[in-house]
Structure 1
Amino acid sequence: MTIGVTVAADEKTVDREELRTNLRRADAGVLVAVLAQLTGDPGVADRYAGKISFTPDPPEQVGATDPETHEGLVDDVIAALEGPRPPGALPFDDPGMFARVAPLALGTAVGDEYVGLLLEQGGFHPSQPVLPRTAKLPQGFKVVIVGAGIAGMAAALECAAAGIDYEIIDRNDEVGGTWYTAVYPGIGVDTPSAYYSLSRDINGDWTSYYPQGAEYQRYLESVADKNALRDHIRFNTEVEALWWDEKRTMWEVRTVAADGTREVSYANVVVPAAGYLNRPRWPELAGRETFGGVSIHSAEWDPALSLRGKKVAIIGAGCTAVQIVDACVDEVEHLTVFQRQPHWVAPRKRLTDDVPDHRRWLNAHVPFYANWIRLKSFWGTADNNYPVIVRDPEWAAEHLSISPANDVLLQMCLEYIDRVFGAGSELAKKVTPDFAPYGKRIIRDPGGYYAALARDHVDVEASEPARVNERGIVTQDGRQIDLDVIIYATGYHLDFLSTVDIRGRDGLELREVWGDSPSAYRGGLVPGFPNMFISSAPNYSPGHGAGHNFGVEVMVHYVMECLQLMALRGAATLEVKPEAFDEYVRQIDDVMAQTVWCHTPTAHTYYRSGGGRIVTAFPFRLIEVWQSHRAPVEGDLELR
């Protein structure tokens, strides 16, 4: 027997018994929320309150109840799916109702301040406009977006939704940015896949809780396909310069195509969305060019390169090195890991990262199930995790960790080290950092990294190489290691647009303004650079939870509000006032001073600029970032 399930204008027909079988394995808390949505009855939450308990299953709190109650819940959901939709049912857009059912779905209390944020991040409704949409931008107004990664695509989608003409310019021949260009073995997403998507385009069919890069790239390509983004993209084109033209009150966009053709075009607004980790960093290592084998940087991987049966060295111990080691350890004849500095490595919590079939089925066939699973993943790694990065002076005075919350993570990582390598062993000492967790980006073990380091054919050198010669690498203590391949997993230059010639009013150069300590106001605004919103701006990355997509969506919402402010005021330009800029940066630095990144001086991290300032992460709670970007503070801005 089949039943009809209607979601919006789409009708899906599924087998009743297949539905029941999968609902029996569903998260009970999520089912309550779905039932409330299907029926439009918030009292559902009251009926099931106290009957559902929650079991940690990082990053989520999985809801469960006794079999009889769960079976009744399944019956109610099936009945709701078969029956007509009452007024007030789908879509879920009632903040009061949401606040009643969210705690049962998410497994913890939800403060009132988070309701608007969670409705957006769950994809229950798009980002809500704040300023009145009573005025339009002038005819011919155009936005140019630099980069077709997730940030550029998010900006494009919001422009399209607002009816604003836009163009994306990208140096590659496909969308995806990093996920298109990075193809090294084992490359994967280290943000939970259930959350790591755009809230306006949730993917419920991930095969892995932490998918490989190719699967995530396919997701981004699907977003481009569904929204016809390629019709607005100039591929194989590098943006060489952005120069402000005062007479036109527009940006002059200078580009060079792959065939060498140069072109000049103009835009009212530019959104640099190219990211700040694009240019591979090769170490200054004596003799590097003399090696007779294969030298390759992880960012420039050749898919044709085989490591099978080879003697391989990898330099680095960050996320990239961890993924490569995990992926290739069974192929190589011998592997030497040059660990320049150990990282804290968190164990994989599940036996497998494969998403079970029943969850993928529920995501595909039960209305809003995928939305709640996404929201649980976000909530589990959001502000509940904030205490991990905030320093408790009394605690830090006597511990390596900076707070009790930080110490929980430290003890978990130490236990993992002891379990794999043996407490007090030489290898355990080599891989144990001397700074608090989160002092540099924490790494999730894909499942076999630590185990790989303990293999007989793997050696760990707890230092950088002394030099390279034709045969291989010479260690700090003078040993010769003969090699076939040297892999440089040594990261990227922290560029922050330094490779693009950006000139604002009166020829002001952005690279000179920033020097080695870049900073920005809300929306990536910098004084003297009107109508420029830098997507991957300094201090715009979540450092304690969520993912890059959160910062991207917050940023893009703010940009749309700024453009609407321009329309309302009939302004041709918008830029931040210097005094507002200085005050905002001061606030960032004041709060940052209390975080782990300012109290782990031994941690070598790309978070810190050459001048010592933390320039990538923001130090605030996610809710504070979200609230502060709801609408522009007009007094902070100069509109002309």
Structure 2
Amino acid sequence: MQADPGVLVAVLAQLTGDASVVDEFAPAISHVPDPPERAGVTDPNTMATLVSRIVEALDTPRSGGLAADDSELFARLLPAALGSDVDDEFVPLLLEQGGFQLSQPTLPRDVPIPAETTVAIIGAGIAGIVAALAATDAGVSFEIFDRNDEVGGTWLTTKYPGIGVDTPSAYYSLSREVNPDWTNYYPQGAEYQAYLVSLADKYRLREHTRFNTEVEALWWDEDRQEWQIHAVDHDGNRSVSRSRVVITAAGYLNRPRWPEVPGRETFAGVSVHSAQWDPSLDLTGKRVAIIGAGCTAVQIVDACVDQVAHLTVFQRQPHWVAPRKRLSDDVPEYRRYLGRRLPYYANWHRVKSYWATADNNYPVILRDPEWSETHLSISPANDVLLQMCTEYINQMFGEGTELAKKVTPDFAPYGKRIIRDPGGYYAALTRDHVDVEASEPAEVNAMGIVTQDGRQIDLDVIVYATGYHLDFLSTMDIRGRGGRTLREEWGDSPRAYRGGTVPGFPNLFITSAPNYSPGHGAGANFSMEVLAHYIVECLQLMALRGATTIEVTQEAYDDYVADIDEAMSRTVWCHTPNAHTYYRSGSGRVVVATPYRLVDVWQQHRAPIEEHFLLGKAGSDAASR
């Protein structure tokens, strides 16, 4: 009787193919906030009847009726399950993101993609896995290159205490592989890595993967109209492979960034970066400093505060921290049981998690010029979040206290990536054995850290939770037509057209592309799936036209980037210049987040606009296309 009745109504309708159950049950169901989605509630009699009808439906073989992914039925079910009206433009997106159907082809499939259209995928993390599965669906031959010895990317290599995802676990997965059995509402690192490994097992991806092989360079071969892939294995052996198409899935946060603190190398204790954590490191009884106040630092503090003898948090700039709104992040057993045993139940919770954390949140990042003139927040919607976070600060530290002042940002929420308290971060900062320094260290010496005001803090361990360099493929030597490098094209302001395409670099698709990360909600898995669909559509367009190359035009590229910048100018990231964020490149341009609604990103990538591309055939003159 603890299940969400709105979800049960949707399940019943899909089990029976009978949409009339919405009219029968929905009026008795109300919806109340229950993060990360609105939970349905009803009276015991209605719930008992619902359960009885579902048990009956499970025992009765279904004949005829509507398919579970019928769009008209699905559209009728959405308000009952989600607790809000849903505009028609969202229906096909939610049908796909709920895992009720695979991404649907857009272009005609009457011409197969030629066998010569081979694909090299650089990276075996979640983006590489998504790309590989899309290639498999399209019948395209592919090979994955990864520098590690197993799939997983970040989730394989990063092991710091408390590591997890701040996107709801019900959503942060592949839509085609909804995991019904997460143990935590926000997946923890080891469990998420196990999920990715299970995908590699199920789809036999290792058979298509070169592990322990790092790609150093990608060079376009104009004569053969394919990419040369220059790689080196862990034994130092170099090789050159070839592929018609390359999909980069390496992400843009790979190289740990160490701060330029004088004397950092002189420390006699243990220095460790969060991205290179030593699992054998025991913090028990140690005097520890953590440099950083972002998501990683928050998770480490939450995880280790009870172990250490003393903890000092060095915070260059505070983040807005949202409170955990459940007593526990442990997923209750009844929900896991229903996810495993009741058809469509986990899918509907995935839809609810997406809906609650995606475009419903979009107004939070949009600036209201009149409002922002007189407020720290940029809009009334943004102010709701500011007030919630401020109330949390006052509740935990006391309004106006010195500690409250230290952790209160001076910019609008979302100016930097919002952080979710895993449950014990703010509480940890109030502990007697924890200090907060509202500044970076002045210097490091053999004994520990010297503060900006000259105090010596003796330490056993210094943890650098200082993030990563922003690398949009900048560590790889990528040369397109005429030997022009991607570094030359981008300078300090990476840009891309749809599908992560760049003029002068034919048949190259970048999944972790500039301005494709959802900045206001959902998760990176969304953009990965959207771009994978689009890439296959581009390969299909090549097949339909008998082309061997596809390359975005300079005009389409310039216009698209200009549209992004114009839309970005209305967002929080362009109106919080005092917020230090990795979203901006060295030029100051916002290059990570997308300024668009996610449904708009999805619609933009249903199929390529043919006139925006140059389609070349083997032996043709590139300049004539």
Q: What TM-score comes out, normalization by structure 1 length?
A: 0.96
Query: Cα deviation per residue 1:356-415 (whole Å; 9 max; x = unaligned)?
Result: 000000001111000001110000001110000000111111100001110110000001
Letter in 1 for 2:158: A
Q: What CA distance in whole angstroms lies between the structure 1 residues aligned with 2:459 and 2:90?
A: 54
Question: Of residues 241, 246, 263 in structure 2, which corresponds to 1:265?
Answer: 241
Q: Which runs of 4+ in 1 moved over 4 A?
A: none
Alignment of 1:286-297 (within 5 A): 286-297=262-273
Cα deviation for residue 600 of structure 1 reads: 0.4
2:14 maps to what in 1?
Answer: 37
Query: Cα deviation per residue 1:318-374 (whole Å; 9 max; x = unaligned)?
Result: 000000000010111100000010000000010000000000000011110000011
Query: Cα deviation per residue 1:450-491 (whole Å; 9 max; x = unaligned)?
Result: 000110000000001000111110000000000111110000
Q: What CA distance in whole angstroms lies between the structure 2 residues aligned with 1:434 and 1:608?
A: 18
Query: Cα deviation per residue 1:481-506 (whole Å; 9 max; x = unaligned)?
Result: 00111110000000100000000000
For the residue of structure 1 that corresponds to 2:215, the secondary structure is: strand
Query: Cα deviation per residue 1:166-217 (whole Å; 9 max; x = unaligned)?
Result: 0000000010000111100110111000000000111010000012100000
Letter in 2 for 1:412: M
- In the alignment, structure 2 segments of 5+ residues that lack a partner are 617-625
Q: What CA distance in whole angstroms lies between the structure 2 residues aligned with 1:108 and 1:144?
A: 43
Letter in 2 for 1:394: E
Letter in 2 for 1:589: D
2:124 maps to what in 1?
Answer: 148
1:13 maps to what in 2?
Answer: none
Q: What CA distance in whole angstroms lies between the structure 2 residues aligned with 1:141 and 1:379?
A: 37
Cα deviation for residue 93 of structure 1 reads: 1.9
2:68 is the alignment partner of 1:67: no
Cα deviation for residue 55 of structure 1 reads: 1.1
2:413 maps to what in 1?
Answer: 437
2:64 maps to what in 1?
Answer: 87
The question of whether the paired residues in 2 share the 8 Å contact of 1:168 and 1:232 is answered with: yes
Q: What CA distance in whole angstroms lies between the structure 2 residues aligned with 1:432 and 1:544?
A: 21
2:97 is the alignment partner of 1:121: yes
The question of whether the paired residues in 2 share the 8 Å contact of 1:239 and 1:253 is answered with: yes
2:623 maps to what in 1?
Answer: none
Cα deviation for residue 118 of structure 1 reads: 0.4
For the residue of structure 2 that corresponds to 1:264, the secondary structure is: strand
For the residue of structure 1 that corresponds to 2:149, the secondary structure is: coil
Q: What CA distance in whole angstroms lies between the structure 1 residues aligned with 2:305 and 2:283?
A: 9
The question of whether the paired residues in 1 share the 8 Å contact of 2:573 and 2:590 is answered with: yes
2:600 maps to what in 1?
Answer: 624
Cα deviation for residue 48 of structure 1 reads: 1.8
2:360 maps to what in 1?
Answer: 384
- In the alignment, structure 1 segments of 5+ residues that lack a partner are 1-23
For the residue of structure 1 that corresponds to 2:155, the secondary structure is: helix
Cα deviation for residue 140 of structure 1 reads: 3.2
Alignment of 1:206-217 (within 5 A): 206-217=182-193
Q: What CA distance in whole angstroms lies between the structure 2 residues aligned with 1:101 and 1:289?
A: 60
1:311 maps to what in 2?
Answer: 287
Q: What CA distance in whole angstroms lies between the structure 1 residues aligned with 2:63 and 2:20?
A: 14
Q: What CA distance in whole angstroms lies between the structure 2 residues aligned with 1:393 and 1:378?
A: 29
Alignment of 1:510-525 (within 5 A): 510-525=486-501
Q: What CA distance in whole angstroms lies between the structure 1 residues aligned with 2:93 and 2:568?
A: 23
For the residue of structure 1 that corresponds to 2:508, the secondary structure is: coil
2:270 is the alignment partner of 1:301: no
Letter in 2 for 1:102: L
Q: What CA distance in whole angstroms lies between the structure 1 residues aligned with 2:122 and 2:365?
A: 32
The question of whether the paired residues in 1 share the 8 Å contact of 2:184 and 2:331 is answered with: yes
Q: What CA distance in whole angstroms lies between the structure 1 residues aligned with 2:399 and 2:428?
A: 17
The question of whether the paired residues in 1 share the 8 Å contact of 2:163 and 2:299 is answered with: yes
Alignment of 1:139-288 (within 5 A): 139-288=115-264
Number of corresponding residues: 616
Question: Of residues 507, 510, 516 in structure 2, which corresponds to 1:531?
Answer: 507
For the residue of structure 1 that corresponds to 2:431, the secondary structure is: coil
Query: Cα deviation per residue 1:102-122 (whole Å; 9 max; x = unaligned)?
Result: 110111111100110000000
Q: What CA distance in whole angstroms lies between the structure 2 residues aligned with 1:310 and 1:407?
A: 40
2:535 maps to what in 1?
Answer: 559
2:590 is the alignment partner of 1:614: yes
2:11 is the alignment partner of 1:57: no
Q: What TM-score comes out, normalization by structure 2 length?
A: 0.98
For the residue of structure 2 that corresponds to 1:278, the secondary structure is: strand
Query: Cα deviation per residue 1:494-519 (whole Å; 9 max; x = unaligned)?
Result: 01000000000000100111111000
Letter in 2 for 1:611: S
Question: Over aligned residue pairs, what C-alpha RMSD do you find?
Answer: 0.7
